[in-house]
A and B are shown apart, each in its own frame.
Chain A
Amino acid sequence: MIHFVLLVSRQGKVRLTKWYSPYTQKERSKVIRELSGVILNRGPKLCNFVEWRGYKVVYKRYASLYFCMCIDQEDNELEVLEIIHHYVEILDRYFGSVCELDLIFHFHKAYYILDELLIAGELQESSKKTIARIVSAHDQVVEAAKEEAGSISNIIAQATK
């Protein structure tokens, strides 16, 4: 299984973390610090797998962001590379040419998409189209709720004027 997902920028800033195994808050910061150190120091031509604390960490660099996933020894690293790429392509499709700034200002959306991709550290859906459809359906529901609330408060505001 995937134990956690970590997105770190080149400067070491954390952009997204998702934990599928129990780690306390203290342990989480420690892990993030350690792993960022290891991965950010690796050269460009090296392979995408790092052995760390008995686990394997698969990472891939996209522009200024490192996408890291920590997996068990018996998992298929090449497949996890594909999962990372899958996620990036979905983000790309959703945000339209995604860049790091999108992930900073709309981090909650990145999380929602990740939740449609992985649950309990396992892959949920292999079709980008399906995931995109579901997420946009969610967005529509939120928009509709906004409008409804907007209209009610308008009504109330007008009524109490």
Chain B
Amino acid sequence: MNPFSSGTRLRDMIRSIRACKTAAEERGVVRKECADIRASINENDPHDRHRNLAKLMFIHMLGYPTHFGQMECLKLIASPGFPEKRIGYLGLMLLLDERQEVLMLVTNSLKQDLNHTNQYVVGLALCALGNICSAEMARDLAPEVERLIQFRDPNIRKKAALCSTRIVRKVPDLAENFVNAASSLLKEKHHGVLITGVQLCYELCTINDEALEYFRKKCTEGLIKTLRDITNSAYQPEYDVAGITDPFLHVRLLKLLRVLGHGDADASDLMTDILAQVATKTESNKNAGNAVLYECVETIMAIEDTSSLRVLAINILGRFLSNRDNNIRYVALNMLMKAIAFDDQAVQRHRVTILNCVKDPDASIRKRALDLVSLLVNENNVKQLTEELIDYLEISDEDFKEDLSAKICSIVEKFSPEKIWYIDQMLKVLSEAGKFVKDDVWHALIVVISNASELHGYTVRALYKAVLTFSEQETLVRVAIWCIGEYGDLLVNNVGVLGIEDPITVTESDALDVIEDAITRHNSDMNTRAMALVALLKLSSRFPSISERIKDIIVKQKGSLLLEMQQRAIEFNSIVDRHKNIRSSLVERMPVLDEATFNVRRAGSLPASVSTMSKPSVSIPNGVAAAPLVDLLDLGSDDILAAPSSSGADFLQDLLGVDLGSSPAQSDATQAPKAGTDLLLDILSIGTPSPAQNSTSSIDLLSTTDYNKNPSIALETLSSPAPPHKATTSSAATNGPVYPPIVAYESISLKIEFSFSKTPGNPQTTNVQATFINLSPNTFTDCIFQAAVPKFLQLHLDPASSNTLPASGNITQNLRVTNSQHGKKSLVMRMRIGYKVNGKDVLEEGQINNFPRGL
């Protein structure tokens, strides 16, 4: 048999493998063939090597391991004949990759072959080197390749040029050596050499700045001339593709011109004409023409240039956008994203077309169009765009919904003109695609809702309606539960109805149904159920009439299999049962969540520092009860609100810098609510607490110490077994309504006096008249008085007589304090006054400890 007729045996093997019906059969055939090949390799017979390697390559393509054949490649490469070398190099390129050390052994053969007399062999070596060389080989053989760039045969020259491209990529330091050779290639006439030469120059320019300068100065004009020649050339059948002579060469030349013109005004000037010519005269009904136009547009975008060319480019892109071919539209969308940077207006003109592309059946186009749309959004078109996008959200595919909803949320957040629109849009998105919405998005929504106090009623009603229809959207349910819990009373009493709303009546029972449904539904996850429990607690205070039913639901959850639910249920139940008196203050309305801090936290830049807490309190206007401050105190001292696992509340606690710690307050745990006292101090940013106050921080939850002994701030304990209202002997002093006035606060510029009176029959409530006296010669304007009291006191501030305190004048303000620990604890108050003097803001703070006892 003719040993060179590798065809027959190879063909037979392929046929037998293809005839296999099962994978196991195929494995058997392959195993047998591999065994034969291994035996043949061991015999070291040169005649069969060729055929063996061919068979090995086929087996490798099927996916089987073939590393035993690697040395065969090397032996074949070292053989003298062209056919062996050919298949040897092919095997090398297929079976090895550049990271394997075996490759180094080939370096010597490669060197010899690069100097071979037979130019086909030289070609083989260059090809192999160009496809697979490693950095070391590149360094070793670079001089040979450089020499070959100027070889007499154009086929070798072009291979050498591309081989140099790889060498320069692997070893950028060698770039300088190739610059001269490359620039000589640019003057070639042979298209193949020209293409590869241009490619080499492109590579050199991107890697090495000096090369870039050199080519820019020396070669730009030559390149432009070449491009002009090829654009204007007559029909050449050898190179013609769809009416364009050598579109590949066009594209490469344009690419190189792009690099040369970028950042350089002179070079860009030179190119303007030819770019305009290519842009206008290229036929665009076939793909080849479009490829050239596309490259031309890219180049126009990248170079420094006059606006007229850019307008031309964007017009071309506009034409592309309305092309029926999907590829062209895709490419146009891609380019428009870059074009937005220069000329937003021009791209806006195509907004409608782009919006249509968002609805395209092709996923790649949809994705690109969506990215582009999000770049196009500005304040003017945001409402319309969002409407369109949300309409599309309803009908889009599941896998696209995630991207689309994320984009809509980010657009809405960035550009929403007013809160009510924001809430509306977010509600729609949550209803359609709630399960794709990420956590921080709906947290942001809650922050906005809590800030939009006039919209609370509207929001909770809208959420209620939405949740009835779209109850399977988890995120929607969570937001709805939170709102119903917070603003349930607004929902039921139809508070704050806006003109655009349809009236609905929601009974307490209806609202409760929603929450019960959320808890009991089997596919609610734990966060939702936990939030629902908290909402129930809030509602048990707001809806007293159905508190029995609420209690039942909570009690049922005591047996839940989830530990978190069980724990919460037990704790909340204990609040509902035994601590009715503090329950209402526990679950009072949450303070407005500070948007700015939330945004900062969300950006992850700052950890919430305690000092940020001062922000909410400063903005409280005069006359508003210090209830929010009281609530902050609540959170500090009330450990029963165990740190919920739902992240919705986590950031809020972090915002307030309160570390509730993870240990829940079991009734037998002893914990020092140090946080509570510190909270109070920090809220009003008063300096270091005096030692007298420090002693109060070690208060046990269960302490039964005699409260009478503690005149300073003592925060009430929750699980104290003693009944709250204990009359002690010292309360006998409440009979007399006469109490001496006190000087509550005195500084160089300001003096505050309190005078007291009590309404008879109501010993717990004290009316205080505060007089502010201006001791300085300047007038104080915008006077605002704020006060904070511990939890056992309730404070109500009437508006002051005036906000302007003239020099040596005074203003008065009435306060009403109710002491629930009347007789046991005396009044104590922290106060702060802010005013403007001579255009400067001044803040004075102090603590008032000298209230008469028995108030």
Real binding pair: yes
* A residues with CB within 8 A of B: 14-20, 22-25, 29, 43, 45-51, 76-79, 81-83, 86, 104-105, 107-108, 111-112, 115, 119-120, 122-130, 134, 137-138, 141-142, 145-146, 149-150, 153
- Distance in angstroms from B167 CB to nearest chain A CB is 9
Contacts A126-B248, A150-B4; A46 near B363 (Cβ below 8 A)? yes
Interface residue? B267 (CB, 8 A): no
* Cβ contact within 8 Å between B326 and A126: no
When distances are taken between beta carbons in the complex, the residues of chain A under 8 Å from B400 are none
| Minimum CB distance partner of A73 in chain B | B334
- Say what secondary structure dominates the interface of chain B: helix
- Distance in angstroms from A68 CB to nearest chain B CB is 15
Contacts A108-B90, A124-B196; A17 near B61 (Cβ below 8 A)? yes
* Cβ contact within 8 Å between A78 and B83: no
| Bound-state Cα–Cα, A146 to B18, Å | 28
* Cβ contact within 8 Å between B166 and A23: no
B264-293 Cβ-contact flags toward A at 8 Å (1 or 0): 000000000000000000000001101100
* Cβ contact within 8 Å between B238 and A124: no
Interface residue? B216 (CB, 8 A): no
Contacts A86-B248, A111-B94, A115-B90 supplied; 7 other A-B pairs, CB < 8 Å: A48-B327, A119-B162, A120-B169, A123-B252, A142-B86, A146-B83, A150-B4
Interface residue? B246 (CB, 8 A): yes
| Bound-state Cα–Cα, A124 to B18, Å | 34
* Cβ contact within 8 Å between B97 and A19: yes
| Bound-state Cα–Cα, A134 to B158, Å | 13
B76-102 Cβ-contact flags toward A at 8 Å (1 or 0): 000001110011001001100111000
When distances are taken between beta carbons in the complex, the residues of chain A under 8 Å from B331 are 77-78
Interface residue? B821 (CB, 8 A): no
- Distance in angstroms from B330 CB to nearest chain A CB is 5
- Distance in angstroms from A63 CB to nearest chain B CB is 18
- Distance in angstroms from A99 CB to nearest chain B CB is 14
* Cβ contact within 8 Å between B158 and A105: no
* Cβ contact within 8 Å between B97 and A22: yes
When distances are taken between beta carbons in the complex, the residues of chain A under 8 Å from B97 are 19, 22-25
* Cβ contact within 8 Å between A81 and B287: yes
* Cβ contact within 8 Å between B131 and A20: yes
* Cβ contact within 8 Å between A119 and B130: yes
When distances are taken between beta carbons in the complex, the residues of chain B under 8 Å from A83 are 248
Interface residue? B247 (CB, 8 A): yes
When distances are taken between beta carbons in the complex, the residues of chain B under 8 Å from A29 are 63
- A-B contacts, 13 listed (Cβ < 8 Å): A14-B63, A17-B61, A19-B97, A46-B361, A47-B330, A47-B362, A49-B364, A76-B251, A78-B327, A81-B287, A107-B58, A119-B166, A130-B192
Contacts A24-B99, A50-B364; A126 near B192 (Cβ below 8 A)? yes
| Bound-state Cα–Cα, A123 to B199, Å | 9
When distances are taken between beta carbons in the complex, the residues of chain A under 8 Å from B251 are 76, 79
When distances are taken between beta carbons in the complex, the residues of chain A under 8 Å from B246 are 126
When distances are taken between beta carbons in the complex, the residues of chain B under 8 Å from A17 are 61, 94
* Cβ contact within 8 Å between A138 and B196: no
Interface residue? B466 (CB, 8 A): no
| Minimum CB distance partner of B363 in chain A | A46
When distances are taken between beta carbons in the complex, the residues of chain A under 8 Å from B87 are 108
Which residue from B58, B63, B290 sits with its C-beta under 8 Å from A78? Answer: B290
Which residue from A86, A105, A128, A146 sits with its C-beta under 8 Å from B4? Answer: A146
* Cβ contact within 8 Å between A125 and B127: no
- Distance in angstroms from A143 CB to nearest chain B CB is 9
| Bound-state Cα–Cα, A111 to B93, Å | 10
* B residues with CB within 8 A of A: 2-4, 11, 14, 18, 54, 57-58, 61-63, 65, 81-83, 86-87, 90, 93-94, 97-99, 120, 126-127, 130-131, 155, 158-159, 162-163, 165-166, 169, 191-192, 195-196, 199, 238-239, 241, 246-249, 251-252, 255, 287-288, 290-291, 294-295, 298, 326-331, 361-365, 367
Q: Which of A20, A79, A107 has the most CB of B within 10 A?
A: A79
| Minimum CB distance partner of A17 in chain B | B61
* Cβ contact within 8 Å between B238 and A127: yes
| Bound-state Cα–Cα, A29 to B65, Å | 11
| Bound-state Cα–Cα, A111 to B328, Å | 31
Contacts A14-B63, A105-B14, A141-B120; A82 near B192 (Cβ below 8 A)? no
* Cβ contact within 8 Å between B238 and A122: no
| Bound-state Cα–Cα, A24 to B195, Å | 30
* Cβ contact within 8 Å between B364 and A82: no
Which residue from A76, A123, A137 sits with its C-beta under 8 Å from B294? Answer: A76
* Cβ contact within 8 Å between B327 and A120: no
* Cβ contact within 8 Å between B159 and A119: yes
When distances are taken between beta carbons in the complex, the residues of chain A under 8 Å from B3 are 149, 153
- Distance in angstroms from A40 CB to nearest chain B CB is 15
* Cβ contact within 8 Å between B163 and A120: yes
| Bound-state Cα–Cα, A86 to B131, Å | 20
* Cβ contact within 8 Å between A82 and B241: yes
Which residue from A14, A82, A115, A122 sits with its C-beta under 8 Å from B127? Answer: A115
* Cβ contact within 8 Å between B238 and A129: yes
* Cβ contact within 8 Å between A79 and B247: yes
When distances are taken between beta carbons in the complex, the residues of chain A under 8 Å from B196 are 122-124
| Bound-state Cα–Cα, A129 to B86, Å | 21
Q: Which of A43, A82, A105 has the most CB of B within 10 A?
A: A82
| Minimum CB distance partner of B368 in chain A | A51
Contacts A120-B131, A124-B196; A47 near B295 (Cβ below 8 A)? no
When distances are taken between beta carbons in the complex, the residues of chain A under 8 Å from B94 are 17, 111
* Cβ contact within 8 Å between B329 and A47: yes
| Bound-state Cα–Cα, A141 to B94, Å | 23
When distances are taken between beta carbons in the complex, the residues of chain A under 8 Å from B90 are 108, 111-112, 115
* Cβ contact within 8 Å between A47 and B364: yes
* Cβ contact within 8 Å between B291 and A82: yes
Which residue from B158, B169, B362 sits with its C-beta under 8 Å from A124? Answer: B158
- Distance in angstroms from A10 CB to nearest chain B CB is 16
- Distance in angstroms from B465 CB to nearest chain A CB is 39
* Cβ contact within 8 Å between B165 and A122: yes
| Bound-state Cα–Cα, A123 to B291, Å | 15
When distances are taken between beta carbons in the complex, the residues of chain B under 8 Å from A16 are 61
When distances are taken between beta carbons in the complex, the residues of chain A under 8 Å from B54 are 108
Which residue from A108, A123, A138 sits with its C-beta under 8 Å from B195? Answer: A123
* Cβ contact within 8 Å between B364 and A124: no
When distances are taken between beta carbons in the complex, the residues of chain A under 8 Å from B81 are 145
| Bound-state Cα–Cα, A150 to B4, Å | 8
* Cβ contact within 8 Å between B155 and A82: no
| Minimum CB distance partner of B54 in chain A | A108
* Cβ contact within 8 Å between B329 and A125: no
| Bound-state Cα–Cα, A108 to B239, Å | 26
| Minimum CB distance partner of B158 in chain A | A124
When distances are taken between beta carbons in the complex, the residues of chain A under 8 Å from B98 are 22
| Bound-state Cα–Cα, A25 to B97, Å | 8
Q: Which of B18, B62, B130, B165 has the most CB of A within 10 A?
A: B130
When distances are taken between beta carbons in the complex, the residues of chain A under 8 Å from B162 are 119-120, 122, 124
- Distance in angstroms from B235 CB to nearest chain A CB is 14
- Distance in angstroms from A75 CB to nearest chain B CB is 9
When distances are taken between beta carbons in the complex, the residues of chain A under 8 Å from B328 are 78
When distances are taken between beta carbons in the complex, the residues of chain B under 8 Å from A123 are 195-196, 199, 248, 252
- Distance in angstroms from A85 CB to nearest chain B CB is 8
* Cβ contact within 8 Å between A149 and B14: no
Contacts A51-B367, A126-B249; A82 near B287 (Cβ below 8 A)? yes
- Distance in angstroms from A103 CB to nearest chain B CB is 11
When distances are taken between beta carbons in the complex, the residues of chain B under 8 Å from A137 are 120
- Distance in angstroms from A101 CB to nearest chain B CB is 9
* Cβ contact within 8 Å between B57 and A108: yes
| Bound-state Cα–Cα, A107 to B97, Å | 20
- Distance in angstroms from A16 CB to nearest chain B CB is 8
| Bound-state Cα–Cα, A45 to B191, Å | 35
- Distance in angstroms from A23 CB to nearest chain B CB is 6
* Cβ contact within 8 Å between B191 and A78: no
- Distance in angstroms from B316 CB to nearest chain A CB is 13
When distances are taken between beta carbons in the complex, the residues of chain B under 8 Å from A127 are 191-192, 238-239
Q: Which of A86, A107, A120, A130 has the most CB of B within 10 A?
A: A120
When distances are taken between beta carbons in the complex, the residues of chain B under 8 Å from A49 are 327, 330, 364
